[in-house]
Amino acid sequence: MKLAFTISTLSQGGAERVITNMANHWAGKGHEVTILTLSVSSINSFFKLDSSIKVVGLAAGRSSKNPFEAVINNARRIFAIRKTLKTLAPDILISFMTETNILSIISTVGLSFPVIVSERANPKVYPNSIIWKLLRSVVYPIADKIILQSEASKDNFSGIIKKKCAVIPNPVSYVKDSKQDFKVTIKQKKTIVSLGRLVEEKGYDLLLNAFSRIRAHHNDWSLVIYGDGPLRGQLEGAMDELKLSDAVQFPGITNDPTEALLKADLFVLSSTTEGFPNALCEAMACGLPVISFDCLYWPAEIIDNGKNGILVPTGDVNKLAEAMEALINDNDHRETLAKEARKITERLGADKIMEAWSKLIDKLV
């Protein structure tokens, strides 16, 4: 089978990682896989791709200075996608991310292969442009299938779109070296870890504030936030203002999030909104005790509060600080949560999720 993907870039990010894993899975099964990115500069994947996978940069990712340029640039993107797909003649096209999904649907009108689009962010929040939201409502019914991350997210769409929706969450890989029997070890320093882009919706300002409230009583604990983004300077400034520079690190992007998680003692997801919390699931698969804001969507569908993790009200810094301190002080509870957390791979294991994708594709081609 010939499979084609479209996505804006192959840089760091949850959607990029998932599309890479899916492409590698099907390439490993002997299928011909091509990934189209909107710009030439994005053809180098942050995540490792199978050598058989072809990546085509469309040189169509230029930024727009005004609405007129936006129309012209998007027309160029549509033309570039359509021209390339007509040459590739895939058996199916899978597109990731709202704007790219819309452009991909329009570019394939009249072509003979089915199109699946996948919403990766929270559709209640994204896109934040009224124009793109309107285009989504008009264009999405043309797609053959629309993949969402959760059942609850269907409520953000009209009835005609809902009929074409299917829920397939992200795959969570089994971690061979996970903390199968998490034991609290006696060491000088313990680490709270978080991973993600340094953007507003990740709530790292809230996490810093929560950590500052417990730091004085727990000098043996530090906070490490992996990732990069536009708010790095602002967050580092907040760290200094809270006098946490000796206890908080921003090491940047990690090429091996699994290794970073396995070195940690506690994971915190401070996001105020999520399409699908990849980092949370990865932390659980690694056998870490986890705390998460109960944001839309997914944390409450993943965490059975008090059994395999802790949920706190979204944005409540006091409750987050209390939950962190409670687990820091309760070694037994951390061990129990960690043991149950690993079972996430039984529900969202990569083989199970990819089987769902394969069954869907078989129905369409």
What CATH topology corresponds to 190-347?
Rossmann fold (3.40.50)
Q: What is the pTM of this model?
A: 0.85
What are the domain boundaries of the chain?
A: 2-171+349-364, 190-347
**Please, which residues bridge with residue 70 across strands?**
none
Instruction: Determine the pLDDT at residue 163.
Output: 94
Per residue in 60-112, pLDDT (tens digit) is 767 777 888 889 889 999 999 999 999 999 999 999 999 999 999 999 999 99
Q: Are the C-beta atoms of 32 and 2 separated by less than 8 Å?
A: yes
User: Do 2-171+349-364 and 190-347 show the same overall fold?
Assistant: yes
Q: Which two tokens stand for residue 44?
A: 């180098």
Which CATH number describes the domain made up of 2-171+349-364? Answer: 3.40.50.2000
Contact 69, 60 (CB under 8 A): no
pLDDT at 52: 96
| CA-wise closest residue to 147 among 236, 18, 239, 330 | 18
Which two tokens mark 302?
Answer: 């993943």
In this model, does residue 343 exceed pLDDT 50? Answer: yes
Residues 6+ apart with CB under 8 A from 156: 123, 124
**DSSP sequence for 267-287:** EEE--SB-S--HHHHHHHHTT
- 258-272 pLDDT tens trace: 999 999 999 999 999
Helix axes 204-214, 317-329, angle to 10 degrees: 50
Token pair listed for 22 = 């899916």
